[in-house]
Amino acid sequence: MRARFAICINNSQYPASLELHKTYRVLADDEAEREGDLRVIDESGEDYLYPADYFLLIDLPQEAQRVLLDSFVGGLASA
Task: For residue range 6-17, list pLDDT tens digits in order.
Answer: 999 999 999 999
Please give the pLDDT value at position 74: 52
Q: 7-47 pLDDT, tens per residue?
A: 999 999 999 999 999 999 999 999 999 999 999 999 999 99
Question: Has residue 75 got a pLDDT over 70?
Answer: no
Question: Has residue 5 got a pLDDT over 60?
Answer: yes
Q: What's the CA gap between 78 and 20, in Å, rounded?
A: 27
Please give the pLDDT value at position 70: 85
**CATH code for the domain defined by 4-78:** 2.30.30
List the domain boundaries for the chain: 4-78
Q: What's the CA gap between 57 and 24, in Å, rounded?
A: 9
